[in-house]
Amino acid sequence: MVKATTGTAQIHAEGEYAPLLDVWSDRYRQEGWHYLLEAIFGDQLPHTPELLIDFQWKLGMAVSSDSCRSLKYPYVAVMLKVADHSGQVKNKSFEMTIPQFQNFYRQFKEIAAIIETV
């Protein structure tokens, strides 16, 4: 049985879970609730926000492909460098169509306007 109380950050384990909790409790003491909750809830846990270190972009034009000789569509490719809470850095890339990019830009402008006033 595992009982975790928020606020006081105490964990009581009984029976077969006790040794397991010793491992967890060291990690959680060092790195926060994240690991414990992840162990219990797995993928359902909302992700701990990562920090954006770098943002690179590329404006491309797909001209032709084997399934379509006349593609002719522009796209924005983005490469994000993000760091998680343990300091590990990863690259994440994705593409947007032009309308998607416009929406992305518009949302960022909204965020900027709001964050200024908070």
| Interface contacts to other proteins, rule CB under 8 A | 46-52, 55, 57, 59, 62, 65, 67-77, 80, 82, 92-98, 100-101, 103-105, 107-109, 111-112, 114-116, 118
Q: Which CB, 22 or 55, lies closer to other proteins?
A: 55
Please give the Cα distance from 104 to 118 (Å, whole number): 21
Closest to 61 in 3D by CA, of 46, 40, 76? 76
Q: How far is the CB of 9 from other proteins (least distance, A)?
A: 12
Task: Supply the Cα-derived Rg of the chain in whole angstroms.
Answer: 22
Tokens at residue 6, please?
């928020």
Q: How far is the CB of 39 from other proteins (least distance, A)?
A: 19
Q: How far is the CB of 98 from other proteins (least distance, A)?
A: 7
Q: What are phi and psi of 45, to 5 degrees?
A: -70, 130
Q: How far is the CB of 17 from other proteins (least distance, A)?
A: 29
Q: Which CB, 22 or 105, lies closer to other proteins?
A: 105
Please give the Cα distance from 102 to 110 (Å, whole number): 12
The type of residue at 52 is: L
